[in-house]
Homo-oligomer: A and B are copies of this chain.
């Protein structure tokens, strides 16, 4: 699994519009023909009706009767520098799950086995998901349901060839130190992989095209896509190439210490190291009962108008999941989020302005985040940092990517984020302020090989950037 070879093969898949296995039209027909919402029912219920879930006596944590799955607890942040600590609820799920995509060559082109997966928090019924998206509880069948299809390819990857395999974090504002194994396993061409109901083969080019549809490609699929190394799919120097497209391609090819990058990879790492050293935050998990300023009502745990989420409970009826019916809490954001990369072309090479951002639930506290990350309210940015206005421009010539995508529907209810790539040109500062850094797409790929560099929103945006070249 040499990186260059893998990147070339993914690029070939990205350049391929499909039609080896089936066209995008056929995909849409298949997608439209899947059983609709009748097969599922998700209804908010008060916590008192949340079967198998309850508030633990001493801690006040919202926990499952088995002690498994996940729990709603609290996090306390001591910001340092004499500032008062603050607390808020957080989801605690202390296990490494698997987000796995199975790939196989057909006619020499890599295809990804994707799943039309229902999750109770989805705004729609199903979203396009990795082959396997499973917690350890799923594996060990804590809930005694059916086994996870295709899990065997990832539990013991010896059966195939591992192309990508790295731990990555999830929402650091909502999860306590959650990370999942992002893994891509290739089965040899010609091996019979039965396609089960609700699964389909797609090229990377097809998935990239689908990434522009609101709420279709789910968060778990996006993070695995972001971890796939790729070469540029076309020639940046071809005569008549669109200048922006060419800039993206050069940026994708500009890895490591490529002279086209404004910042050497070592300097990028140094910027992040500096931000980590400057961050004085100390964080600790605390009982939910110790979270100040939040009220646990009959229907929701909420923290007032300035907080970005509340915790609710739902009853879920489903035919096509591991178990037929279940109850669970979900984290429900109050607003649509914003995650935007402000980009600028320097000397014909696209550069992305990343931000070193502390989040209470991140293992190492600080990871690289979008230029602007926060909430929107009525279209305006709320608390998304100094570049929020640039990121929310309505100039269509600047907005290169703009799609509302959903976050993890297994834990969040109707969590949607506006993902944007905005070419701010000379309005973006050549010398970024402290905590920000210009990087190439290729350097983002260098970093995403390793854990703890790009946060989940930045990884989604990396997958979005790949659609622009």
A3 surroundings in chain B (CB, below 8 A) = 256-257, 264-266
A451 surroundings in chain B (CB, below 8 A) = 273, 364, 452
Shortest Cβ distance from A283 into chain B, in angstroms?
10
A1 and B273 within 8 A (CB): no
Contact with B along A426-469 (1 / 0, CB 8 A): 00000000000000000000000111100000000000000000
Count of identical protomers in the assembly? 2
Closest B residue to A155 by beta carbon equals B277
> Which one of A68-76, A159-167, A312-320 is at the interface?
A159-167
A6 surroundings in chain B (CB, below 8 A) = 266
A450 surroundings in chain B (CB, below 8 A) = 269, 450
Closest B residue to A161 by beta carbon equals B267
* A2 to B255 alpha-carbon distance, docked (Å): 12
A213 within 8 A of B: no
A181 surroundings in chain B (CB, below 8 A) = 273, 277
A164 surroundings in chain B (CB, below 8 A) = 266
Given contacts A165-B274, A167-B276, contact A269 B449 (CB under 8 A): yes
A4 within 8 A of B: yes
* A252 to B179 alpha-carbon distance, docked (Å): 33
Contact with B along A279-313 (1 / 0, CB 8 A): 00010000000000000000000000000000000
A59 within 8 A of B: no
B277 and A96 within 8 A (CB): yes
A267 surroundings in chain B (CB, below 8 A) = 1, 162
A363 within 8 A of B: yes
B363 and A266 within 8 A (CB): no
Identify A363's interface contact among B162, B257, B364, CB under 8 A: B364
A364 surroundings in chain B (CB, below 8 A) = 167, 363, 451-452
A264 and B167 within 8 A (CB): no
* A124 to B181 alpha-carbon distance, docked (Å): 46
A277 surroundings in chain B (CB, below 8 A) = 96, 98, 167, 181
Shortest Cβ distance from A342 into chain B, in angstroms?
24
Given contacts A269-B165, A451-B452, contact A276 B96 (CB under 8 A): yes
A17 within 8 A of B: no
Interface residues of A in 175-189 (CB under 8 A from B): 181, 183
Shortest Cβ distance from A50 into chain B, in angstroms?
25
Shortest Cβ distance from A110 into chain B, in angstroms?
16
A276 surroundings in chain B (CB, below 8 A) = 96, 167
B4 and A273 within 8 A (CB): no
* A96 to B270 alpha-carbon distance, docked (Å): 14
Shortest Cβ distance from A361 into chain B, in angstroms?
14
Contact with B along A359-379 (1 / 0, CB 8 A): 000011000000000000000
A94 within 8 A of B: yes
B2 and A273 within 8 A (CB): no
* A421 to B157 alpha-carbon distance, docked (Å): 32
The 7 closest A-B pairs by CB, nearest first: A165-B270, A2-B257, A1-B266, A96-B277, A165-B273, A162-B270, A2-B264
| Pairs A–B under 8 Å by Cβ, sample size 7 | A1-B264, A98-B277, A163-B266, A167-B276, A363-B363, A363-B364, A452-B452
- By a beta-carbon cutoff of 8 Å, the part of chain A in contact with chain B is 1-4, 6, 94, 96, 98, 157, 162-167, 181, 183, 256-257, 264-267, 269-270, 273-274, 276-277, 282, 363-364, 449-452
Question: Told that A1-B264, A1-B270, A162-B266 touch, could you supply 19 new A-B pairs with CB distance under 8 A?
Answer: A3-B256, A3-B257, A4-B257, A6-B266, A96-B276, A157-B270, A157-B274, A162-B267, A165-B266, A165-B273, A166-B273, A167-B273, A167-B277, A183-B273, A266-B449, A269-B449, A363-B363, A450-B450, A451-B452
